[in-house]
Homo-oligomer: A and B are copies of this chain.
Amino acid sequence: MRDITLSKAVNEAIAEEMRRDPTIFLIGEDVAEAGTPFKVLSGLVEEFGPERIIDTPIAEPGFMGIAVGAAMTGSRPIVDLMFGDFLFLVMDQLCNQAAKTHYMSGGKLNVPLVLRTNLGATRRSAAQHSQSLHALVAHIPGLKVAMPSSAYEAKGLMKTAIRDNNPVVIFEDKLMYNDKSPVPEGEYLIPFGQANIKREGTDITLIGTSSMVQVAERAAELLAAEGISAEVIDPRTIVPLDEETILRSVRKTSRAIVIDEGHQSYGITGEIASRIMEKAFYHLDGPVIRMGAMDVPVPFSPALEDVTVPTPEGVAENARRLMRGEMFHAA
C-alpha cells in the first residue's frame, strides 16, 4: 500500500486497463497533451499515443455518439466529459442510444463504454460547473452508475467499469482529485453493487455517496465523542444498489440518514430512503432523514455556495435529533 491521489488512482486504472486490452481508447476534450484541465490523464498520451488518447473538438454530443458507435463495433471507449454539468449535452446519445441499444436489439448489440465525469460544488465555479447530476442517469434503465469516495474506490471501480459490457457512468468528485489515500500496489477490482461499510456502529446508519462519505465519517467522529455510535456506509455504485448491506445495517441501528450532494428533491436520497422504509419499516425508530444539496442552482458567491451542501455538523445534528426521538417533522 502507498498513498496516492484520487487523480493518480484514476490514471493508473485507465493505464493498466489500456495495457491489457488494445480495444480500449479514451476520447474527450484536451485529454492528450493537456491531460485534462484537472491533469488527471497526464502521461497517458505519451504511453498510448494520440490514436488511443483522442483529443476532440468541443462537441460533447458528437463524441458521445461516436463512442456509442465504437462500442457497438468492438471497441471499448472511455469518454471523458470535462464537467458533470455537460451531461445535459450528451443525454440523448447516452440515454436514448447507449442505455437502450442492448435491450432494443434483443440482446444482440452491446455498448461497453465508460463515461467518466465529475460532480461537486464549493469550487466557486457557479451554476453551470458545479452540479451533481447522478440522479438523472441513475433513473435510466440500462446505465450503471458508480460514485467513488476515495482513491481506492476510484481505481477499483474504474477498472470494473472498463470491463463491464454496459454503459457505465462514473462520477468523480472534482474537489477530491488531490486527496490521497492508501491504494494497493497490485491489481484489484471493486465489484459493482457491493456497498462498503466504512465504519461500524450500532446506533445510527449514515449512508453517504462520493465526498459525502467523508462528511458522514466526520459526523461519525463528532457523534462518537458524544457516545453515539454511527455506522457509515458507502454504496459505491447507486446502480446497481446494494440494498442488502444497507438494510442489514438499518435493521441493526433502527435509524438512518442518507447524505448526497445532488439536489435533494427528486434526487437519489428519496430512492434510498424509500427503499429502506419499504423494506425495513418495522425496524425504524423514526423516519429516514434525507440530506441532499439545496434545491437551488449553485450560487457563485462563497458566502452562499457553502450553505448549499451538507456538512458534518448538519449530519451530526440530525443524528442527535433522531437519537433523541425528536420527530421534528411529524405533525
Contact = CB atoms under 8 A, between A and B. Distances in A.
Contacts of A268: 266
A286 interface: yes
Contact of A278 (B135, B139, B279, B287): B287
The size class of the interface chain A forms with chain B is 35 or more
A103 B139 contact: no
A225 interface: no
A265 interface: yes
A289 interface: yes
A289 B278 CA distance: 7
A313 B266 CA distance: 27
A273 to B, nearest CB: 5
A59 interface: no
B331 A265 contact: no
Interface of A: 85-89, 91-92, 94-96, 99-100, 103-104, 126-128, 135-136, 138-142, 238-239, 247, 251, 262-263, 265-271, 273-275, 277-284, 286-290, 294-297, 299-300, 327, 329-331
23 contacts: A87-B91, A88-B94, A88-B95, A88-B96, A91-B91, A96-B127, A99-B297, A138-B265, A139-B267, A140-B263, A239-B266, A251-B331, A269-B274, A270-B275, A273-B274, A273-B278, A274-B290, A279-B287, A279-B330, A280-B330, A281-B284, A281-B286, A282-B327
